[in-house]
Structure 1
Amino acid sequence: MPPNTEYLEIAHQRAAEKKTHVSFPQLKYPSLRDEGLRDPVQWLTGKAMDDGAEGLWRIHNAIYDFESFVDNHPGGSEWLELTKGTDITEAFESHHFNPVVEKMLEKYYVKDAKTPRNSPFTFHEDGFYKSLKRAVREELKKVPKDRPKYCDRIMDGLFFTCLITAALTCWSKNYWVVMASYLVSSLTLAWSVVASHNYIHKKTNWRMYIFNLGLWSYRDFRVSHALSHHLYPNTLMDLEISAFEPIVFWNPRRDKPFYVYLSFLIECLFFPFAFIVNFLKRFSRNFIQKDFFKKHYRWHDVIGLLLPVWMWVASGCTFYEAFVNWLWINCTGSFIFFLIGSNAAHHHPKIFKDGDQVRTETPDWGMHELEAVMDRTDINGNIFKVMTFFGDHALHHLFPTLDHDVLPRLYPVFLEHCEKFKANFRMTSSFDLFIGQIKMAVKKDVSLLDE
């Protein structure tokens, strides 16, 4: 269906004025979206300004006080600590399967919210997502408790391979061994960071800390990825879109700068340093925000700096040699990670972006998740590829706390519900998504999503 010309003009005007979301005009333009460092702390601050949670926790149209429950939260206290003062409706719905949780809310109810939700998404009992979640809940009862933990084996194998080969780059004197070790350690570092994302969505566990091996922060990633990108993919509330601006612009806008035509080249120049840039952004906040260290920094932020120390101690070389080799490994691993991530599932002309005309301003949350993602035929079906290339992406977005080992078992009931509700589940090739990502970086005109 061709774009509505009148809508295009209105959409571009909204984008220029920055008063509302483009695709969802009933919503406020996100506070602080285009200011400062565009980091997770800033995103949470801006969200708290817009959500009407009154300093507590909001779920649907009610305010709750979970202060006395924070330390007893089965998923770990961090989830509630990070989200205090915000609307956690989408996170609550997608992270919990047990219906008992909904009954527990009554104990912590404070009052009704004063303002409408600043989110376009709905969770009707007879809608796609809630119906699918009930069916998935029944399927999970059939999953054997003693099933093989393939994801854990892959994660551990990548981690230890990275450690061993990183040390070999410093220990060996053979040029070919050093080069092979450098390539393998860089690749396994990137894959370890990708695979550890499977554990970041879950309750507190030791494997989630492997994410920090890349000099990044799993705590930051819980905000930018689990609480922002996963819950509001490709909208103006998606930090994994806004954080790349003004380097890369993935949302369609007429006022994109001239250099968007060099976006892929810019990505290739920026991606190698993205791990380090994220670390420096986080470190700089100590001087910008006085209480940042107390509120957001944790002991695990130094994990990434332990890798060069390990290389130095394990190989017996000088620390300078270990540090230089580590920089090469970190930068190459950073390039691989972001190359995988930017082409994984979300950037393609046929995928929803804020600016596209939607069929309803209040879509079912699960239906929207499928509009904002495309899976890959050459990745799904292989658990190693799924773990290292963000595979089974649609199901993972719908049920992020489930282990990737479990997701393949859900496809029959998932596809059945997609057909019943006419949900837009699509699959394509990795190459098509790669080309699509380049097209989205230069796309200026918004479009009407296909029926």
Structure 2
Amino acid sequence: MALLVTIIMSSEKRFSTIANNYPTFQDINPLALNPSRWMNSRRADDKAEGLWRLHDTLYDLTDFVKLHPGGADWIKFTRGTDITEAFEVHHIYPALPERLLEKYKVRKATEPRNYKFTFNDDGFFRTFRRKVAKKLKTVDRSPEKMSKIYIDGFLFVTFLAAILAMQWDSMALVILSSLCLNYTTISAHNFFHQKDNFRMYYFNLCFLSYRDWRIQHSISHHLYTNSLYDLEVTTFEPFLCWIPKASKNVVQRYVSWIYSPFIYSAIFILHYIQNLILCIVNRKNLLRLEHLIPFTLPLAMYILGGQNFTMVLKTWMSIIFIGSFFFGFIGLNAGHHNNHNVHEGDTLRQVSNMDWGIYCLDTVIDNSAISHSHLASLTHFGNHLMHHLIPTIDHGIISQFYTILFETMAEFEAEFEEYPWSVLIIGQFKQLAKNKPITEDPIVRKKLRIKEHGGRKMG
């Protein structure tokens, strides 16, 4: 109990360095911070006046919610917020959406945007996006079918191994089911980034919610990586603190290396419990069919496994906790929470306009062991930078855009690194221990790392 109190006492209010003005968000408290609360804080801060803000213009998209080709969720979630980053990143072909927006235009915003990110026509991101749009018309689309075959296969093996584990009382099959549950979840993340489709529901099998993660992952983490706006950083505080700050105590810096595996194992179940409590407290709808998806696995185990309810519950929970460990271990060592990445408080590039795409280059490091395999990339968050830059494009085909990524990087004299998994894992622990922001320019740091540590410079 003393350890828990010591950790929680570190909760505090802070200000983001990627914002020009960030007045109210956020109280770092894992028991209260969640996607819904995060969106409410955005509504209070984003100066969108209850509408949708894109750059310096306000739009009323109320009548467009059901017409949105990507699905209604994206529009409903973002009401009352600044959607500039989300719009720019999620539309490879922006011309048609921009024309449609004219119909819903209300007026110019009266105050400047909170965020420092820019999307200039001659900047890195838009230059890259134009090249992607052109290339997308000629790419080989067949790997998209393999992405669907892979995830369907993992789902099938998850159920089959769980059922056979019941019949044969096999721990090896429990682990196999857990691993495939993890791979089903990670692969489903590829699909909830896209327009509505039935495979995005696979994400819910492990107790997570694709709706919540469209906010937590797509709208928060992808757009504001490693900042205080990134829920995949702040929801783990004060237990796992990757943001460097002087107030970190010894427990957070070093003992976290020991207890972090237990946090990995609890991600699935704690998310569901928190969601359930919030639904009851806020009187939200508990009757969505998607809320029943996690229970299809134990139901199949009970009907086809030939064991009693107690044995089903025990085996199912083993699958959930082990699968959660795999998910946490892979996800939290995938290339962000590393001492080589820029984090909140670190010095950003010394440029007058912070291009969003350039910021991605500084907050992502790729895993050299998996980036060249479709299956490994799909199941281990591979091709990470490319996925951040063009998240709506299937993992199966994003590798076909590296040539134009390298061309764009050369045009802007930008650099990007990839390292073996061992460097990413060790770097993640080093970042937990870090208590002082880095003051050197990211460009200087990258060049020194490539020279001293043998990191492979991509491009």
TM-score (norm 1): 0.92
| 3-state SS, counterpart of residue 324 of structure 1 | helix
**Equivalent residue runs for 1:368-447 within 5 Å:** 368-447=359-438
Written as runs of structure 1 = structure 2, the 5 A alignment for 1:84-163 is: 84-98=79-93, 99-144=95-140, 149-163=145-159
Distance in 2 between residues matched to 1:349 and 1:337, nearest whole Å: 21
1: CA distance, partners of 2:338 / 2:144: 35
1:366–1:398 Cα contact (<8 Å) kept: yes
Say whether 1:303 aligns with 2:303.
no
CA RMSD of aligned residues (A): 1.8
How far has the Cα of 1:20 moved from its partner?
A: 3.1
Q: CA deviation at 1:73?
A: 0.6
Residue 61 of structure 2 is aligned to residue 66 of structure 1: yes
Determine the C-alpha separation between the residues in 2 that align with 1:424 and 1:90. 22
Match runs of 1:1-16 below 5 Å: none
Give secondary structure in 2 for the equivalent of 1:58: strand
1:160-194 Cα deviation digits (max 9, x unpaired): 01110011111125xxxx12211110110111111
Equivalent in 254, 258, 282 of residue 246 of structure 2: 254
CA deviations 1:322-359 (Å, max 9, x no partner) are: 11100000000001100000000102222110110112
Deviations 1:16-38 (A, max 9, x none): 994632x3462215524425521
Deviation of 1:61 (Å): 0.7
CA distance in 1, matches of 2:14, 2:337: 25
Aligned to 1:353: 343
Match of 1:312 in 2: 302
- 1:406 and 1:29 map into 2 onto residues whose CA distance is 41
User: In structure 1, what is the equivalent of residue 453 of structure 2?
Assistant: none
Higher RCO (CA 8 Å, separation ≥ 6 residues): 1
AA matched with 2:166: C
Contact kept in structure 1, 2:161 and 2:174, CA below 8 Å? yes
CA contact (8 A) 1:352 1:371 kept: yes
Q: Which runs of 4+ in 1 moved over 6 A?
A: none
Structure 1's 327 and 128: CA in aligned 2 closer, same or farther, altered over 3 A? same
Partner of 2:49: 54
> For 1:338, which of 328, 331, 334 is the aligned residue?
328
In the alignment, what sits opposite 2:457? none
CA contact (8 A) 1:396 1:407 kept: yes
Aligned to 1:4: none
Q: 1: CA distance between counterparts of 2:18 and 2:263?
A: 32
Q: Secondary structure at the match of 1:426?
A: strand
Aligned length: 429
CA distance in 2, matches of 1:138, 1:50: 36
What is the CA–CA distance in structure 1 between the aligned matches of 2:41 and 2:172, rounded to whole Å? 45
TM-score by length of 2: 0.90
1:241 aligns with 2:237: no
In 1, the alpha carbon distance for the partners of 2:429 and 2:333 equals: 9
2:279 counterpart residue number: 286
What SS class does the counterpart of residue 285 from structure 2 fall into? helix
- Show the 5 A alignment for 1:209-224: 209-224=201-216
Asked whether the equivalents of residues 33 and 43 of structure 1 are also in contact (C-alpha less than 8 Å), the reply is no
Tell me the percent identity. Answer: 36
User: Could you list the runs of 5+ residues in structure 1 that have no partner in the other structure?
Assistant: 1-14
- Are the counterparts in 2 of residues 162 and 188 from structure 1 also a CA contact under 8 Å? yes
